[in-house]
């Protein structure tokens, strides 16, 4: 092994270790790897930033922008309408929503497709009373499986295609991945939706229904103000302040002269004969009664309908991915002070949180029960990007925008398939037109692009070049051939796919594709076989990261909303990866023979 090879392998080993460690962002790690190779002279300075102009990087950025355009056009509303008739049918819901996210992932970024479908799946779970964990991991895996079917379905396909163009002079077509990828996706979706979710631990599968999750009788009580009460004339905020913060109470309504006033202002004054509707735990009610001359009202069941009317709404909302409310508390979000909205309850993973609500830090996937003036709750929902659990109607103008956006994407795909324009040019042109016609705002394309992924790709492409220039990939190819013991190209293909899968489970899938595609090229040259089956094996392996929550952003996105643990992924992911190898290898040999 030469000095340059030793340096490249040392840098790669350190890079992979830092990826797994996760202490620093992967884009920073990639930049450090690039700088290390430049500093040691292994990589020429003039090639340092070639990755930023690489067609794969430009294509990935353009596809992210187009994914945002589809979301803006109202695609989620259409999906909700499609799934509405499946209410109460768990298996059909799992199959339908996982299949839908797979189809979406074939034509938009898979993380974007999952982010679009995740609130829908959460809504279905809470509405029908099953645990989100049942649906979310199959949904995440479906987003990865759908990406296997087209050129733009996932960045590894784009990366592999550029390597083919460099070696054979022609990239893969838009649907070149479909003959194998579609079969693998169908097999995988069938497994995770019909059998696989049952492999999750029981404590991640059990759930409770809506009525049990938010039973208002458990936390809303009525207390009476006597005619001679010392609290007459006192502001409601001062009544709430009678108890310590540890025994938090909130007055969410007043029964006065046989009229119910809901979500009253904090400065409202108490009158004789009032019945105060108080939201608190048992300890809070006891503390309030002990600190005042209030008395409990006659035992009367309080229904959810008692907490809302024509002007005041009681609404359940989901903290959706990307919500500004995530990692905030009710106080820092100013729910009561700025929006005059009461937080009645929070459910996480299908179970109501019992501790003090003011101390709860909201997480993606939480379901909040809010009470307040309808306009203010709507404002809160809009500004914090929350998703109401109630079904929404498709807007009048949105189908037209969706049709226009879809037509532009279809035109870009047609341009690629007919050879009129390469992928990176066609998709950038489509994105530009969407901005011009107003589907995307002026600044939205920049917000839609996942810049850490772009920097990661742009930095690692030159690192992969250094590995090839120093002969590092040749050494790795010799090692793989030696490992298979001369059993032939089929076993080399299996070894390459499995190795790519395992690497992708701990390293970003884009980085995996950049590092493993050159190895596939060297293996094809040494074995004197066709390149395509080996490159396709890399594309499949890089996108099948099912064993850990860190292998792909889709897996990470469902970790908290689903209430999963690190070890839950391999329970479903390991048999899925075995199934994919068993299905994909014969298909590769038929569609892309050696």
DSSP secondary structure of 468-481: HHTTHHHHHHHHHH
Say yes or no to pLDDT of 52 above 70. yes
The whole-number pLDDT of residue 397 equals: 42
Is the torsion defined by CA of 378, 381, 387, 388 positive or negative? negative
Burial of 442: CB neighbours in 10 Å, binned 0-12, 13-18, 19+ = exposed
The whole-number pLDDT of residue 497 equals: 94
The answer to the question of residue 489 being in a domain is yes
* % the chain with pLDDT above 70: 92
Same domain (yes/no): 253, 140: no
pLDDT band of 585, cuts 50, 70, 90: very high
Same domain (yes/no): 111, 30: yes
The whole-number pLDDT of residue 294 equals: 92
How far apart (Å, rounded) are the C-alpha atoms in residues 336 and 237? 11
**pLDDT, the chain, mean:** 84
Q: Kindly give the interhelix angle for 509-527 and 451-469, rounded to the nearest 10 degrees.
A: 30
Same domain (yes/no): 164, 270: no
The whole-number pLDDT of residue 204 equals: 64
Number of H helices, E strands in the chain: 24, 10
Same domain (yes/no): 565, 508: yes
Among the listed residues 295, 304, 318, 217, the one whose alpha carbon sits nearest the alpha carbon of residue 262: 304
The answer to the question of residue 568 being in a domain is yes
Same domain (yes/no): 262, 340: no
The answer to the question of residue 13 being in a domain is yes
For the ranges 162-166, 170-174, 338-342, which has the lowest average pLDDT?
Answer: 338-342
For the ranges 3-12, 291-300, 583-592, which has the lowest average pLDDT?
Answer: 291-300
How far apart (Å, rounded) are the C-alpha atoms in residues 360 and 243? 19
3-state secondary structure of 227: coil
The secondary structure of residue 361, as a DSSP letter, is P
The whole-number pLDDT of residue 537 equals: 96
Task: State the total domains in the chain.
Answer: 3
Cα angle for residues 290, 295, 299 (degrees, 5° grid): 125
The whole-number pLDDT of residue 270 equals: 93
- Rounded average pLDDT over 252-265: 85
The answer to the question of residue 438 being in a domain is no
The whole-number pLDDT of residue 396 equals: 39
3-state secondary structure of 198: helix
Say yes or no to pLDDT of 575 above 50. yes
Domain boundary residue, one of 358, 388, 418: 388
Same domain (yes/no): 137, 268: no
Cα angle for residues 41, 46, 48 (degrees, 5° grid): 70
Say yes or no to pLDDT of 483 above 50. yes
* % the chain with pLDDT above 90: 29
The whole-number pLDDT of residue 207 equals: 47
- Rounded average pLDDT over 493-514: 88
For the ranges 92-106, 107-121, 177-191, 407-421, which has the lowest average pLDDT?
Answer: 107-121
The answer to the question of residue 408 being in a domain is no
Same domain (yes/no): 166, 88: yes
The answer to the question of residue 485 being in a domain is yes
The whole-number pLDDT of residue 433 equals: 92
Find where tokens 């179970």 sit: 351
Q: Which domain holds residue 147?
A: 3-48+75-205+450-591
Same domain (yes/no): 195, 123: yes
For the ranges 8-17, 67-76, 150-159, which has the lowest average pLDDT?
Answer: 67-76
Strands of the sheet containing 351-352, edge to edge, are 351-352, 342-348, 367-373, 312-319, 386-388
How far apart (Å, rounded) are the C-alpha atoms in residues 366 and 562? 10
The CA-to-CA distance between both ends of the chain, in Å, stands at 30
Same domain (yes/no): 356, 275: no
Q: Where are the alpha helices (DSSP H) in 42-109?
A: 55-72, 75-83, 90-107
The whole-number pLDDT of residue 205 equals: 61
The whole-number pLDDT of residue 209 equals: 44
Burial of 407: CB neighbours in 10 Å, binned 0-12, 13-18, 19+ = exposed
Same domain (yes/no): 25, 165: yes
The answer to the question of residue 417 being in a domain is no
CA-to-CA separations, 542 to 21, 448, 466, 471, 592, in angstroms, rounded: 19, 23, 21, 23, 18
The per-residue pLDDT for range 174-221, each reduced to its tens digit, is: 999 999 999 999 999 999 999 988 888 766 665 444 444 566 666 788
Where are any strands of DSSP class E within 374-485? 386-388
Same domain (yes/no): 36, 180: yes
CATH code for the domain of 344: 3.30.70.1450
Say yes or no to pLDDT of 590 above 90. yes
Domain boundary residue, one of 362, 388, 414: 388
The whole-number pLDDT of residue 398 equals: 58
pLDDT band of 561, cuts 50, 70, 90: confident
Domain boundary residue, one of 363, 388, 413: 388
The answer to the question of residue 419 being in a domain is no
Ranked by mean pLDDT, the top range of 353-362, 485-494, 497-506 is 497-506
Among the listed residues 191, 244, 169, the one whose alpha carbon sits nearest the alpha carbon of residue 422: 169
How far apart (Å, rounded) are the C-alpha atoms in residues 410 and 456? 29
The per-residue pLDDT for range 450-479, each reduced to its tens digit, is: 888 888 888 888 888 888 888 887 777 778
Same domain (yes/no): 284, 384: no
């Amino acid at each position: 092994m030469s000095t340059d090879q030793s340096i490249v392998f040392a840098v790669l080993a350190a890079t992979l270790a830092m990826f797994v460690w996760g202490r620093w962002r992967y884009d920073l790690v990639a930049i450090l790897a690039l700088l290390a190779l430049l500093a040691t002279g292994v990589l020429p300075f003039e090639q340092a930033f070639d990755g930023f102009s690489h067609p794969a990087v430009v294509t990935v950025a353009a596809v992210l922008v187009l994914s945002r355009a589809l979301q803006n056009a109202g695609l989620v509303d259409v999906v909700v309408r499609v799934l509405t008739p499946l209410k109460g049918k768990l298996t059909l819901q799992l199959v339908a929503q996982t299949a839908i996210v797979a189809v979406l992932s074939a034509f938009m970024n898979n993380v974007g497709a999952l982010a679009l479908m995740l609130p829908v799946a959460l809504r279905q779970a809470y509405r029908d009373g099953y645990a989100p964990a049942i649906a979310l991991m199959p949904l995440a895996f479906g987003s990865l499986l759908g990406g296997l079917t087209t050129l733009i379905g996932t960045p590894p396909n784009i990366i592999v295609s550029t390597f083919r163009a460099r070696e054979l002079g022609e990239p893969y077509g838009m649907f070149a991945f479909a003959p194998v990828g579609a079969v693998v996706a169908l097999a995988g979706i069938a497994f995770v939706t019909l059998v696989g979710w049952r492999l999750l631990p029981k404590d991640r599968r059990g759930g409770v229904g809506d009525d049990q999750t938010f039973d208002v009788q458990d936390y809303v009580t009525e207390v009476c103000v006597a005619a001679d009460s010392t609290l007459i004339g006192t502001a409601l905020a001062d009544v709430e302040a009678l108890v310590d913060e540890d025994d938090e109470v909130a007055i969410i309504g007043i029964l006065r002269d046989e009229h119910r006033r809901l979500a009253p202002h904090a400065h409202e004054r108490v009158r004789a004969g009032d019945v105060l509707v108080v939201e608190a735990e048992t300890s809070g009610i006891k503390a309030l009664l002990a600190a005042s001359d209030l008395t409990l009202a006659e035992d009367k069941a309080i229904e959810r309908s008692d907490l809302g009317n024509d002007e005041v709404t009681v609404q359940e909302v989901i903290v959706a991915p990307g919500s500004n409310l995530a990692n905030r508390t009710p106080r820092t979000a100013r729910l009561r002070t700025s929006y005059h909205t009461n937080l009645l309850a929070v459910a996480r993973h299908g179970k109501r949180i019992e501790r003090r609500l003011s101390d709860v830090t909201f997480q993606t996937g939480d379901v909040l029960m809010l009470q307040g003036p309808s306009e203010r709750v709507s404002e809160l929902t809009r500004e914090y990007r929350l998703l109401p659990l109630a079904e929404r109607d498709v807007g009048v103008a949105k189908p037209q925008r969706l049709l226009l956006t879809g037509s532009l994407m279809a035109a870009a795909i047609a341009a690629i398939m007919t050879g009129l324009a390469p992928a990176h040019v066609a998709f950038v042109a489509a994105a530009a037109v969407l901005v011009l016609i107003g589907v995307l705002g002026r600044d939205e394309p920049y917000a839609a692009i996942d810049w850490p992924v772009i920097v990661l790709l742009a930095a690692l492409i030159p690192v992969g070049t250094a590995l090839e220039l120093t002969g590092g990939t040749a050494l790795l190819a010799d090692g793989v051939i030696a490992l298979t013991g001369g059993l032939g190209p089929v076993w080399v293909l299996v070894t390459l796919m499995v190795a790519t899968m395992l690497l992708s489970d701990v390293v970003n899938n884009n980085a995996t594709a950049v590092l493993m595609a050159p190895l596939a090229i060297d293996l094809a040259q040494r074995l004197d076989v066709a390149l395509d089956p080996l490159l396709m094996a890399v594309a499949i392996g890089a996108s099948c990261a099912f064993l850990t929550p860190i292998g792909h952003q889709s897996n990470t996105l469902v970790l908290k909303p689903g209430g999963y643990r690190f070890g839950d992924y391999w329970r479903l992911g390991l048999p899925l990866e075995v199934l994919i190898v068993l299905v994909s290898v014969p298909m590769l040999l038929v569609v892309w023979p050696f």
